[in-house]
């Protein structure tokens, strides 16, 4: 039994089948990529797994428990965190606060504790600040901790989003085009970082990415979507050699 099991998911918007009969497995510590041309339904697949859309049919299991149709909040509590294709930081909060928001669900103090500054509150605050600074150090953002999130440069914002997602202590991390808009050097660094967090936090990572060099070099398996249909599943080598994939997405090697 895998950690995340997605079985025969369909998502239909009126007459349009955005994702059709999509199945998927992800284990702890694994890194799997989801690729395909624009409009293939990749982000829709993410949105279904994170609860933003409810699947028309099919089932999603995390640790054997069904989570399809649950709210995004519940699904996050179950252990799935994500980043967004168009960065969605809490832009007027500080970098540190952005990450600390993620720790909220493990807080031991309630509203009353907040208002009277109970010992539990003080303990939590110290602990979360420490953990958040730790996380920021891992992502080399600690120097910017006090700055507003939208004052960071683009690459840093992308990294902050990953840090924020990791703060919720997920079992599975979904990254929606984390390298979009980065220069080649930043992409290389990001690749190393993703590999590093996979080991350090032992999370399963599911990745949408258009940079084939990045995808093929770090992922263990690749799923290819086109018009909502899964056209190939396999190792990077298998997928790269698959004629259907070459026709739909990769194109002939020159």
Q: Which of 164, 205, 157 is nearest to 179 (CA)?
A: 157
- Does 200 bind other proteins (CB under 8 A)? Our answer is no
150-169 binders of other proteins (CB under 8 A): 164-165, 167-168
Triad 70, 17, 54: Cα angle to 5°: 5
Torsion-angle region of 158 (φ positive above 0: left; ψ -120 to 50: alpha; else: beta)? alpha
**What is the C-alpha to C-alpha distance for residues 74 and 51, in angstroms, rounded to an integer?**
9
- Does 214 bind other proteins (CB under 8 A)? Our answer is no
Catalogue the E-assigned strands of 112-220. Answer: 172-176, 204-208
Tally helices (H) and strands (E) across the chain: 10, 10
State the minimum distance, in angstroms, from the CB of residue 80 to other proteins. Answer: 9
- Does 62 bind other proteins (CB under 8 A)? Our answer is no
State the minimum distance, in angstroms, from the CB of residue 82 to other proteins. Answer: 6
Of these, 14, 15, 65, 146, which contacts other proteins (CB under 8 A)? 146
Q: How far lies 176's CA from each of 14, 237, 254, in Å?
A: 25, 22, 28
Residues in the chain: 254
Q: How far lies 188's CA from each of 153, 184, 217, 218, 236, in Å?
A: 17, 6, 10, 11, 18
- Does 104 bind other proteins (CB under 8 A)? Our answer is yes
Q: Which lies closer to other proteins via its Cβ, residue 82 or residue 221?
A: 82
Of these, 12, 59, 85, 114, which contacts other proteins (CB under 8 A)? 114
State the minimum distance, in angstroms, from the CB of residue 52 to other proteins. Answer: 7
State the minimum distance, in angstroms, from the CB of residue 212 to other proteins. Answer: 27
State the minimum distance, in angstroms, from the CB of residue 77 to other proteins. Answer: 5
**What is the C-alpha to C-alpha distance for residues 75 and 52, in angstroms, rounded to an integer?**
10
12-51 binders of other proteins (CB under 8 A): 50
Of these, 84, 85, 210, 233, which contacts other proteins (CB under 8 A)? 84
State the minimum distance, in angstroms, from the CB of residue 115 to other proteins. Answer: 5
Structural Rg of the chain based on CA atoms: 19
Q: Which lies closer to other proteins via its Cβ, residue 52 or residue 246?
A: 52
- Does 76 bind other proteins (CB under 8 A)? Our answer is yes
Where do contacts with other proteins occur on this chain (CB under 8 A)? 50, 52, 71-73, 76-77, 81-82, 84, 88-93, 97, 100-105, 107, 109, 111, 114-115, 117, 121, 124-125, 128-129, 146, 164-165, 167-168
């Amino acid at each position: 039994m895998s950690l995340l099991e997605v079985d025969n998911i369909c998502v239909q918007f009126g007459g349009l089948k955005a994702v059709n009969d999509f199945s998927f497995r992800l284990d702890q510590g694994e890194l799997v990529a989801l690729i395909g041309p624009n409009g293939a339904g990749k982000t829709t697949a993410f949105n279904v797994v994170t609860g933003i859309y409810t699947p028309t049919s099919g089932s999603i299991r995390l640790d054997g428990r069904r989570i399809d149709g649950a709210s995004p909040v519940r699904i996050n509590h179950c252990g799935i965190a994500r980043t967004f294709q168009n960065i969605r930081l809490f832009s007027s909060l500080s970098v540190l606060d952005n990450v600390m928001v993620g720790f909220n669900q493990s807080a031991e103090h309630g509203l009353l504790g907040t208002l009277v500054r109970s010992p539990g509150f003080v303990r939590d605050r110290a602990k979360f600040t420490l953990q958040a600074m730790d996380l920021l150090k891992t992502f080399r953002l600690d120097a910017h901790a006090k700055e507003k999130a939208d004052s960071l440069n683009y690459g840093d914002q992308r990294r902050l989003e990953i840090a924020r997602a990791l703060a919720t202590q997920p079992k599975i991390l979904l990254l929606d085009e984390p390298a979009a808009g980065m220069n080649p050097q930043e992409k290389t660094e990001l690749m190393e970082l993703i590999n590093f967090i996979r080991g350090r936090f032992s999370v399963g990572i599911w990745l949408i990415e258009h940079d084939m060099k990045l995808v093929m070099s770090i992922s263990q398996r690749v799923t290819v979507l086109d018009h909502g249909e899964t056209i190939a599943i396999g190792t990077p080598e298998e997928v790269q050699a698959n004629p259907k994939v070459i026709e739909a997405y990769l194109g002939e090697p020159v």
